[in-house]
A = this chain, B = another copy of it.
């Protein structure tokens, strides 16, 4: 048995392997909401015997500690120092689980303790679970442990790739820990898996002939680092607080509007999951706008403070439950509940509301040519900003916005802008919450701006 679970939001893959004879299952890099694995195991009459952590993750809170409650033993890499791990495997160590043969390979680079895991199962192709060492068309980033370690880890990554992985049989299937859109590597492909041979031939990073060229190329193309990454390593080493997910997850609890208002007074952040246009029309005063979809956790990681306590506002319990799962995956598990009755209930209770003005790139272009342009705050990443931006715009990356709101001059109206419109809505809500009045959200972002012909005043 082999199943791949893919979280679209963080582009994170976990894997479920099982021996049909011994009825033992293994989960590789489990997500924190582990109910999905427990349910499958139950329905198939399997026992989750092990979890393998390929490495100490920086982008998601792992589920191994949760799964200990059903008797799973956790194996991590040498020097991982997970408080809750049962064993640290060394390079070349083997394990047999029923009819599944496992060989652990120590492949440092993305992190020092990183494991790649070679698996043979009956009636299945040989697979290597490469974690964040080797992706489809890309390699892991070596810079998440701080500048002092980056160059050494980049060199280790080269050795792991060229001396340990690429020397394997070319037909072996490679199943990486992430797909396209993850911030754990630059330019990851969208296919779920690849082969050693295909990566040897096509992965641009593996075409470099020397370690020096490889290291230089890896360091020249590093992805963005959201603020919450800094907290995840520690959380994953100590073990994310237990949520009892093995017993299933029913989602956050309903709260009356007044109980919600009390929670907010006590420090909870209200996350409004409605689309940007509905949020703009009216929303609970001070709410952040993280429209439902797959990216609530992903962008939440940029704007939610450490140890955030949150309350949710969505269209229904399905939405708030999905949002809660995504937040739990980035380590935000202090979720007080959701507003029972949604926005209507909040409004009907007479609680305070705010609104955001909406504009678009056509209006912005007119305002610029009329000489009354707003101050455009471009909240995209530095890489996006450098690839082209509106002249006169001010660059404040989304993750820095709350902290740097006071820097924004108030002599003109302030407008937020991003690439496609999701972040500008969130940014407008962040600024509004930070006390900047009259913020305008430019819908459609730079992708719409670039479509204007002739493109006025673009760099």
Contact of A123 among B20, B275, B343, B449 (CB under 8 A): B20
Query: B residues within 8 A CB of A362?
Result: 280-281, 355, 357-358
Contact of A282 among B122, B173, B274, B451 (CB under 8 A): B451
Question: A277 within 8 Å of B by Cβ?
Answer: yes
Kindly identify, within residues 270 to 317 of chain A, every residue whose CB is under 8 Å from any CB belonging to chain B: 274-283
Decide: A451 near B343, CB < 8 A? Known: A280-B362, A444-B281: yes
Count the copies.
Answer: 2
> Are the C-beta atoms of A421 and B453 separated by less than 8 Å?
no
Decide: A445 near B277, CB < 8 A? Known: A43-B173, A283-B451: yes
Fill in one digit per residue for A324-342: 1 if any B CB lies within 8 Å of its CB, else 0. 0000000000000000000
Give the dominant DSSP class at A's interface: mixed
Kindly identify, within residues 432 to 459 of chain A, every residue whose CB is under 8 Å from any CB belonging to chain B: 443-445, 447-453
Question: A404 within 8 Å of B by Cβ?
Answer: no
In whole angstroms, what is the CA distance A344 to B449 when docked? 12
In whole angstroms, what is the CA distance A173 to B125 when docked? 28
Which one of A123, A344, A357, A361 has the highest number of Cβ atoms from chain B below 10 Å of its Cβ?
A: A123
Query: B residues within 8 A CB of A242?
Result: none
Question: A124 within 8 Å of B by Cβ?
Answer: yes
> Are the C-beta atoms of B275 and A444 separated by less than 8 Å?
yes
In whole angstroms, what is the CA distance A349 to B368 when docked? 27
10 other contacts beyond A277-B360, A281-B360, A281-B444, with CB at 8 A cut-off? A20-B123, A44-B124, A274-B447, A275-B444, A276-B444, A277-B361, A280-B444, A282-B453, A283-B451, A347-B453
